[in-house]
Structure 1
């Protein structure tokens, strides 16, 4: 669990926080927003079940991207975020594993020749 829930600091607490930031970046939304509808106020709870469905993942992506992003890498980033957001710290990847995964995603994107991410989002 995250330190906010358990009250205990864990070596993988930062990994959880990174997962939250990743989800915020993918969706363009804040992690907690009381102005959203009841089922969407907690962004993490709303996103988790949508990551495995390609259409739902596309629907949750930041609309300001206007669909101009590499969908394969967006899916990989969303899956990485979900791994980082595991409630049990030992189930989360280490920060080294997170960095390695990000490098792999970037390398595949560069080799794939998919459209570049719009300049305002780099």
Structure 2
């Protein structure tokens, strides 16, 4: 994310942060090949946040991102989520991700959780 966004606007989690107790991390594999990953952060009161969602470069444009998102949404539903939110970038690099989220019912919203307004961020949410 540091290659596409200013450092102060990067909200990606490092490996230690992904090990936090409020994070559930998922990865998608085809035998020994990593296809992508994503995580859910529990914000409390039935509100979950999608974090660290990525499709491996070689698998972008093949439905990998949609499959990961559907898995995360299913996991959120099983956990009783009433709201699912995310933060992504405004740059053109993130346009395919924003379109994917919109196709799955996410709409632009105000910052949530500990986020503050950021001209380099787009905040999105949907009902669980």
TM over 0.5: same fold? no
Larger Rg: 1
Q: Which has the higher contact order (CA 8 A, sep 6+)?
A: 1
Band of TM-score, shorter chain? 0.3 to 0.5
TM-score, normalization: structure 2? 0.34
Q: Which TM-score applies when normalising by structure 1?
A: 0.35
Structure richer in strand, relative to its length: 2
Structure with more helix by fraction: 1
